[in-house]
Amino acid sequence: MMKLLIIEDEVSLRDSIQQYMETQGYLCETAGNFNEAMDKIDFYDYDCILVDIGIPMGSGLDIVKELKGMKSKAGIIIISARDAVDDKIIGLQLGSDDYLTKPFHLSELNARVAAIIRRRHFDGEEKILFNEIEIHPAAKSVKVNDGYLEVTQKEYDLLIYFISNKGRVITKSALAQHIWGDHYDQAASYDFLYTHIKNLRKKLIESGAADYIKTIYGTGYKFTDN
Amino acid sequence: MKLFTRTTIYYLLFSLPLLMLSGWLLYYNIERALQHEVDEELQNSKELWEQHLNSLPAAKDILELNNPYVQIEKTSITSNNNFYSDTLVYEPIEKENDPYRNLTVFIVRNNQHYKLSFQRSVLEHKAVFKKLIVVMSYVFGGLLLLFLLINLYINKKLWKPFNTSLEKITSLNMQQLQQVHFDKVAIREFDALNSSLNAMTGKMQADYLSMKTFTQNASHEIQTPLAIIQSKLELLLQDSQLTEQQTVAISSAFEATQRLSKLNQALLLITKIENNQFTALEKMSMKAVVEKYESFFVEMMDEKKIAFSITVKADWQLLIHPLLADMLVSNLFSNAIRYNKQQGEIIITIRDGSFEIINTSTMPAIGAAKLFHRFAKSDTATGNGLGLAIVKEICDSNNIAIQYSFNNTYHQFKLTPL
C-alpha cells in the first residue's frame, strides 16, 4: 500500500484530501504545521508528499529543500493558493515533481499522485490494468483483450485519468481542466469534451471492452465496472 | 521648455527694451549736449563779431570782412529773427559734403540790411558721436552676454541639487522597489524638497509593498475557503445514495465555486497588471504565441465549424511579459470563437507591428460604452465579463493601441504599437 503525507494547515481541506485518497487505496498521514511535518519526514518514508507552501512555523518550500537534502525518494507535489509564477518556478527548481494551485479537483490531485508514483517506483514500466484494458505508459499504448487500440493523445489522457479515478464521480470541469490545462477556462462550453469522450467510449466498446464510462446527469462521468 | 530657455527668454524680454530705452536716452542726451556746445560757440563768435563790427568806422564796407567763419551778404529781408540750421557744405579738397552747423543773424548797418552766417563744422562731433555709439553698443552687448552667462552659471550651479533630485525621481522604478535617497543640500528650499521627496517615496514604497502583499494575501485567503468548498462538494458527489436532483444541485454549486475562483484570479490579474507587477524582460513573437494556442482553439472552432485562416506577413516581436502575451492572445482568440456563429469565420493577420483578429458573429457591434468595461457582458455571454477588460489593461500597460471596428457582421480587433 502506498503511503502519503499530507502537509496542510486547513483541517477541512486536509480531511477532504485524506478521505478521497484513502478511498483510492492510499495510506494517509497528515501534518498541520512545519514542525509536525519535519518530525514525520525524519522518521518515516512516504511514496508521495503533498506540501502546502503557507503553513504555520515555516514554509512548505523549506520542507521540499529538506526532503531533497536527505535524498528522499518520495514524490513531492506542492499545493498552494498562490498562482504566482515565481512560486511555481521556485518550487519546481527546488525539486518538487508537481505544483497544484488551490482550488483544485481531488480527482486531479489523485491522478497526479498516481502519475508520480508510477514514474518514481516503476520508471514508467508498470502496466496500468483495468479488467481487460491494459495500458503501457512508457509506450503510450492501450491494449484491450491483447489487441492494440489506436487512441489520440487526448483520448489516452482521458483514459488514464478515468482509470486513476475509477469508481469516482469526475466532474466535467475536472476533465476539461485536465485535458486542456489552464486554457480550459477560455472554452465557452464542454461541447468539445463530449466529442472526445464519445469517441473514446466508441473505440473501447468496438474493441471489445465493456462500457465503463457512465454519464452522470448534469455532473460528469464515472468510470466503473459495476 | 527648459527652465534655462525660459529664464533666458525672460531676461531678453526685459533687458532688451531696457537697453534700447537707455541707449536711446543716452544717444538723445549726448546729441543735445554736443549741439548745445556748438550752438554756444556760434553764439560766442556772433557776439565777438557784433562787437567787432560795432567798433569799425561807419564807412567801412563790411562785405570785405568775409572769411570762412563768417559770410556777410546784403539782403533785402528785414528780420530780427536769428536762427540755427544744419547744412551740408561742399569741401572741394575732400570732394564731399560735410555737415555744418549754421547761425544766421540779421543786422542793420547804415540803413542796409545784412545777413551774417556763422558756420562750424560738426564733422568731428559726428565722428566722436559715431565712436561713442559703437562703444556703447559693445558695452550693452557685453552686458547682455554677461547676463546670459550669469544666467547659465546660476542655472548650472544653483539648480544642480534640483536637477539631481529630478533625475533620480524620473528614473525611479516603483515596481522594482529600488531604494532611493535624496541627499541633504545647502539650499534650504531644495533641502525641504528633498526631505519631502524622501518621505513621499518612502511612503509610496511602503504602500506599494503592502498593497502588493495585500492583493496576494487576499487572493490566498479567498482561494483557500474555495478549495475547501470545492473539495467537500467533490466528496459529496461520490455518495451513491444521492438522488439525481441532489447530484445536479451539488454540481451547480461546484461549477459556481469554479467561476468564483476564476473571477478572483482574473481580478487579481487585473490588479497585478495595473500595479505593473509584470515586467517585460524579452521580446515575444506574436506568431509563436498564436501558434501555441492554435491547436487548443482549433478544437473549439471545429465544434462550431468555423473556418479559420492565419496569415503571417512578418512576425511581430513585442516586448511583453510572456504571461501577458498569452492572456492577450487567448482572450481575443476565445472571444472570437465564443461570440462566433455556426459556420462562421476567423481571420488572423500578423504583420511586423500589428495583430489583427476578425470574426463573424450574429451579435451587433459592441457599443463604445461597453467595450473594455469590466463586467460589461452581453446577454448571451458565458464568460465572466472580464476578458476584454484584461485585454485593455494589458494593452495599456504595454504601450499597445487597441482598436475595435465593426463592418458588415465582421468584428475586428487590431493591436498596434502605441
Do B225 and B298 have their domain in common? no
User: What DSSP assignment string belongs to A26-54?
Assistant: -EEEEESSHHHHHHHHHH---SEEEEESE
Per-residue confidence (pLDDT) for residue B173, from 0 to 100? 67
Phi, psi at B195, each rounded to 5°: -70, -30
**CB–CB of B78/B137 below 8 Å?**
no
Residue B81: HSE in the Cβ half-sphere, 13 Å Cα cutoff: 4
Q: Please judge whether A16 and B232 are an interchain contact, meaning their C-beta atoms are less than 8 angstroms apart.
A: yes
Do B9 and B80 have their domain in common? yes
List Cβ neighbours of A49 (8 Å cut-off, separation of 6 or more): A4, A5, A7, A41, A63, A67, A72, A74, A75, A76, A77
Provide the whole-model pTM.
Answer: 0.67
Do B409 and B393 have their domain in common? yes
Interface test with A, best of B243, B273, B297, B299 (most A CBs within 10 A): B299
List Cβ neighbours of B11 (8 Å cut-off, separation of 6 or more): B147, B148, B151
Which residues pair with residue B358 across a beta bridge? B347, B412
CA distance linking residue B348 with residue B289, whole number of Å: 12
Q: What is the DSSP letter of B360?
A: E
* Complex confidence, ipTM: 0.90
Is the domain covering A3-122 a CATH 2.60.120.460 domain? no
The SS3 of residue B27 is helix
DSSP strand E in B222-375: where? Answer: 283-285, 307-312, 317-319, 345-351, 354-360
**Nearest residue to B342 via CA among B307, B305, B308, B301:** B305
Per-residue confidence (pLDDT) for residue B383, from 0 to 100? 63
CA distance linking residue A221 with residue A196, whole number of Å: 13
Left if phi > 0, otherwise alpha if psi is -120 to 50, otherwise beta: which for B331? alpha
Residues of A in contact with B337 (CB under 8 A): 188
**Nearest residue to B338 via CA among A176, A191, A178:** A191
Per-residue confidence (pLDDT) for residue A213, from 0 to 100? 94
Confidence of residue A168 (pLDDT cuts 50, 70, 90): very high
- Among B121, B154, B187, the domain boundary falls at B154
Per-residue confidence (pLDDT) for residue A125, from 0 to 100? 65
User: What DSSP assignment string belongs to B73-99?
Assistant: EE-S------EEEEEEEEETTTTEEEE
pLDDT 10s digits, A41-69: 999 999 999 999 889 999 888 999 999 98
Do B56 and B149 have their domain in common? yes
User: Mean pLDDT, to the nearest integer, of A23-38?
Assistant: 94
**CB–CB of B276/B397 below 8 Å?**
yes
- Among B277, B294, B320, the domain boundary falls at B277
**Nearest residue to A89 via CA among B323, B175, B212:** B323
CA distance linking residue B101 with residue B38, whole number of Å: 7
Q: Which residue in chain A has the smallest CA separation from B263?
A: A185
Q: Flag whether B386 is in a domain.
A: yes
Do B119 and B247 have their domain in common? no
What rounded mean pLDDT belongs to chain A? 88
Q: Flag whether B245 is in a domain.
A: yes
Q: Which residue in chain A has the smallest CA separation from B262?
A: A185
Q: Flag whether B389 is in a domain.
A: yes
Do B148 and B212 have their domain in common? no
Q: Which residue in chain B has the smallest CA separation from A17?
A: B231
Do B106 and B11 have their domain in common? yes
Which residue among A19, A169, A186 sits closest to B334, beta carbon to beta carbon? A186
Domain residue limits at B348: 283-417
Confidence of residue A158 (pLDDT cuts 50, 70, 90): very high
Virtual CA dihedral for B372, B374, B375, B378, nearest 10 degrees? -10
B119's enclosing H/E stretch is strand B112-121
Interface test with A, best of B213, B222, B230, B268 (most A CBs within 10 A): B230
The answer to whether residue B374 neighbours chain A at the CB level (below 8 Å) is no
In degrees, rounded to 5, the angle at the alpha carbon of residue A134 between the alpha carbons of residues A131 and A140 is: 155
**CB–CB of A192/A167 below 8 Å?**
no
- Among B253, B277, B301, the domain boundary falls at B277
Does residue A5 or residue B297 have the better pLDDT? Answer: A5
Q: Please judge whether B234 and A192 are an interchain contact, meaning their C-beta atoms are less than 8 angstroms apart.
A: no
Confidence of residue A161 (pLDDT cuts 50, 70, 90): very high
**CB–CB of B393/B402 below 8 Å?**
no
CA distance linking residue B114 with residue B105, whole number of Å: 8
Block residue for cell numbers 492572445: B329
Residues of B in contact with A189 (CB under 8 A): 303, 382
Cell matching residue A101? 494551485
Q: Which residue in chain A has the smallest CA separation from B242?
A: A216
Do B127 and B24 have their domain in common? yes
The SS3 of residue A214 is strand
The answer to whether residue B317 neighbours chain A at the CB level (below 8 Å) is no
Rounded to 10 deg, the angle between the A11-23 and B188-237 helix axes is 40
Q: How many domains is chain B partitioned into structurally?
A: 3
**CB–CB of B112/B74 below 8 Å?**
yes
Virtual CA dihedral for A66, A67, A70, A72, nearest 10 degrees? 180
The SS3 of residue A82 is coil
DSSP strand E in chain A: where? Answer: 3-7, 27-31, 48-52, 54-55, 58-59, 75-80, 98-101, 128-130, 133-136, 141-144, 147-149, 169-171, 213-216, 220-223
**CB–CB of A162/A221 below 8 Å?**
yes
CA distance linking residue A90 with residue A94, whole number of Å: 6
Per-residue confidence (pLDDT) for residue A185, from 0 to 100? 67
Q: Which residue in chain A has the smallest CA separation from B300?
A: A192
Confidence of residue A204 (pLDDT cuts 50, 70, 90): very high
**CB–CB of A105/A177 below 8 Å?**
yes
A119's enclosing H/E stretch is helix A106-122
Q: Flag whether B161 is in a domain.
A: no
Minimal CA separation from B352 to chain A, in Å: 26
The answer to whether residue B299 neighbours chain A at the CB level (below 8 Å) is yes
Give the distance from CA A26 to its chain's centroid.
13
CA distance linking residue B266 with residue A11, whole number of Å: 27
Q: Which residue in chain A has the smallest CA separation from B222?
A: A81
Distances (CA, A) of B4 to B7, B151, B187, B195: 5, 8, 19, 25
Do B7 and B144 have their domain in common? yes
Per-residue confidence (pLDDT) for residue A86, from 0 to 100? 65
pLDDT 10s digits, B115-153: 888 888 888 878 888 888 898 889 888 988 888 888 888
**CB–CB of A117/A2 below 8 Å?**
yes
**Nearest residue to A52 via CA among A85, A24, A23, A11:** A11
The answer to whether residue B208 neighbours chain A at the CB level (below 8 Å) is no
Per-residue confidence (pLDDT) for residue A169, from 0 to 100? 93
Is the domain covering A128-223 a CATH 3.40.50.2020 domain? no
The answer to whether residue B234 neighbours chain A at the CB level (below 8 Å) is yes
CA distance linking residue A178 with residue A161, whole number of Å: 8
A-proximal residues of B, 11-50, CB under 8 Å = none
Give chain B's end-to-end CA distance (angstroms, integer).
24
For B24-57, b/e burial (b = at least 16 CB within 10 A) is eeeeeebeeebeeebeeebeebbeebeeebeeee
Per-residue confidence (pLDDT) for residue A159, from 0 to 100? 95
Cell matching residue B205? 514604497
pLDDT 10s digits, B223-261: 889 999 999 999 999 998 999 999 999 999 998 998 888
Ranges under pLDDT 50 in chain B: 380
Do B23 and B136 have their domain in common? yes
pLDDT 10s digits, A91-147: 788 888 999 888 899 999 999 999 998 888 766 567 888 989 999 888 888 999 888
* Domain regions of chain A by residue span: 3-122, 128-223
Do B257 and B312 have their domain in common? no
Single-letter amino acid code for the residue at B10: Y
Distances (CA, A) of B289 to A14, A211, B286, B308: 38, 40, 5, 16
Which residue among B216, B226, B251 sits closest to A84, beta carbon to beta carbon? B216
